[in-house]
Structure 1
Amino acid sequence: MGNKKSSRMFIFFSLLPAILIYTVFKVLPVFEVFKLSFYRLSVLSFSEKFVGLHNFRALIHDNNFIRAFQNSVLLIVYVTIITLVLSLMFASILVNLKIKGSSFYRVIFYVPSVLSIVVIGGIFAAIYDSKNGLLVSILGFFGLKGPELGFLGDQSIVIYSIMLVMVWQALGYYMVMYMAAMSSIPKNIYEAAEIDGANSAVKFFNVTIPLIWSSIRTTLSFFIISNINMSFLIATILTGGGPDGASEVFLTYMYNQAYTNQSYGYGMAIGVVVFIFSFVVSAIVSFVTKREVLQY
């Protein structure tokens, strides 16, 4: 009995530092954000005034926030779908077709996910350059012209330019994860499917996808959360939310309101909305993608 108690005490004190750090730097800030969202205050002011739900009511009528919300949803939906489809496709090709030098391609695809966001921003700032950029040069080679204001200056396409960067950055990371899951599928399952007359497409959709579904489900929830953070970093570096707010997303707008416009309470209200939105979307994705785990 004494040994069990000593063991529990040892486990408790071993975990205590991690629990304290997590509580101080994760849990308490969340509660503080919720609290501050009910106040009117600025970063430079030491006074605060309780305004209840005023900040949240103002968000409903804030056209700039609504546009940032729409941009964020657009990026979450399109970037998630495009990245998922491409990463699954490339993973299947590299695992099943036995392409020569597949390890080399795996490394090449994975490199963008380990690059600094600043480096990625510099690369695509050069690619999107309206005068001497790579895209302008390619279009010129085919006798075409790019947008007059550039890929990052045209309000109608700037969000899609950011979308391309996000797909490029995330593609290799998820491809490698899916390759690891596909590599663990026994070959005899594919051989049995071939005996039954299944072609490559049938094997992919009826064998590969169901057997790695747990990995897909896990990465979907993770990707949606990371998408919100990544859109903030890339939009900040490439456009700063411009032109004229056309590339504003959740967190760029929150940052601008809290620190640039000195409306800290209003910015925290946006943070609360982002938190709830992330939680709800993750819960919906987890529920919709729930399937019986297949054993092999």
Structure 2
Amino acid sequence: MISIKKKMSMTSVWSRRLFILSFLLPTLALFALFTIYPLIRGLYLSFFDWSGGSETMNFIGVNNYKELFSDSIIPTAIKNDYFLIFWKVILIMLLATFFAVALTRLRLKEYGFYRIIFFFPNIISVVVIGVLWSFIYNPSLGFLNAFLSLFTKNPIEINWLGSPNLAIWSLLPPSVWAGIGFYMLLIIASILGIPNSLYEAASIDGANEWKQFTGVTLPLIWEQFKTSIIHIVITTLNGSFIIVKLMTDGGPDNQTQVLGYYLYQMGFKQYHLSYGATIGVLILVLSLITTLLINRILHRDTIEM
């Protein structure tokens, strides 16, 4: 009798596992097809000399990696990528956290309206954002120079996107503007999950709003905070090439070049796809190393509510 019950329980366990697996398989198949396979294929191509259109692929070993380490543009691209990461993490997380706390703790009547306004840039296509900010930075007709000219006697005609010293800085405002709303909503969701009783207890103990934020809010949203930073790092290393392509095309003189756009140029403009794949491997390695370091630096014990 006992053995029959064991067999029935084992059958139910396997049935449950098969049921769960039947739902996971399509997702795993898509993940393997669109993520795992391209990674393996890119690593494979990095050991060949291939234009991307020819039928022959010549095995050249690690020559692409030797070329990578001697390429003078690579250090500039890495520097620009981490420049964008550094400032985007600081500005986006600072502003997103400020707005999230303000909208949740102040209990504004227009809470829903402000949420939509801040999230609006995320609805817009990146292409639209790039074109819009290119018009804003236009030396002759742009809003920015026109606004600054209001405070001077002579018209200002700064070439924001054409200046070697200003171009990389000019990519920050559109990148930050486009990211604040998304991370603000993530932080809002975490804050709304914090029991009000904790804030009431802190208030009774004499904690002001700042102490409530540092003592209650920040520790309890820390995991979401860390995840958001890691997400900014990954999306910047893998996606900043779009804004570069739209606004500066990597110029002037490669001063706004980033790894993602350099990959695109080498692989699809200069038809050196195998070298582009090598740059892709570099992006993957940098993403992994940076993510692991941030995870290590920002690690804290999870606080139970």
Shared fold, TM over 0.5: yes
State the secondary structure of the residue aligned to 2:240: helix
CA contact 2:239–2:260 (8 Å) conserved in 1: no
- Residues 87-166 of structure 1: pairs in structure 2 closer than 5 A: 87-143=96-152, 146=156, 148=158, 150-166=159-175
Q: Is the 8 A contact 1:166 1:230 kept in 2?
A: no
Q: Quick check: 1:72 aligned with 2:81?
A: yes
Match of 1:197 among 206, 211, 215: 206
Which amino acid is the alignment partner of residue 218 of structure 2? Answer: I
Greater Cα offset, 179-188 or 26-35: 179-188
TM-score for both structures, normalised by structure 1: 0.93
**Alpha-carbon offset, residue 294 of structure 1:** 1.2
| RMSD of equivalent CA atoms | 1.8
Fraction of identical pairs, as percent: 33
What SS does the corresponding residue of 2:164 show, helix, strand or coil? coil
Does 1:226 find its partner at 2:235?
Answer: yes
CA gap of 1:230–1:25, structure 2 versus 1, over 3 A, is closer
Equivalent residue letter for 1:240: D
Contact map agreement 2:146 2:156 (CA 8 A) in 1: no
How far 1:197 sits from its partner (Å)? 2.1
CA distance in 2, matches of 1:245, 1:263: 18
Partner of 1:49: 58
- 8 Å CA contact 2:51–2:274 kept in 1: the answer is yes
Length-normalised TM-score, structure 2 = 0.91
2:199·2:216 contact (CA, 8 Å) conserved in 1?
yes
Q: Letter of the 2:172 partner, please give it.
A: M
Report how far residue 138 of structure 1 moved: 0.8
Q: What residue in structure 2 maps to residue 236 of structure 1?
A: 245
| Structure 1: distance between partners of 2:97 and 2:88 | 14
In structure 2, how many angstroms separate the alpha carbons of the residues matched to 1:229 and 1:146? 35
Deviations 1:58-80 (A, max 9, x none): 22221111111110011111111
Distance in 2 separating the partners of 1:230 and 1:211: 30
The structure 2 residue matched to 1:265, chosen from 258, 274, 297, is 274
Q: Which amino acid aligns with 1:42?
A: S
Aligned ranges for residues 173-188 of structure 1 at < 5 Å? 173-188=182-197
Q: 2:91: which partner in 1?
A: 82
Residue 265 of structure 1 and its aligned partner are, at CA, apart by 1.3
Structure-2 residue corresponding to 1:285: 294
Distance 1:38 1:213 in 2: 41
Aligned-partner Cα distance in 2 for 1:127–1:180: 33
How far, CA to CA, are the matches of 1:238 and 1:274 in structure 2?
22
Deviation, 1:290, is: 1.4
Cα distance in 1 for residues equivalent to 2:148 and 2:142: 10
The Cα offsets for residues 254-288 of structure 1, whole Å up to 9 and x where unpaired, read as 11011111211111110000011111111111122
Q: Which runs of 5+ in 2 are unaligned?
A: 1-6
Determine the C-alpha separation between the residues in 2 that align with 1:54 and 1:276: 18
Cα 1:4/1:192, change in 2 over 3 Å = closer
Q: Flag structure 1 segments of 5+ consecutive residues without an equivalent.
A: none
Rg larger in structure = 2
1:250 aligned residue: 259
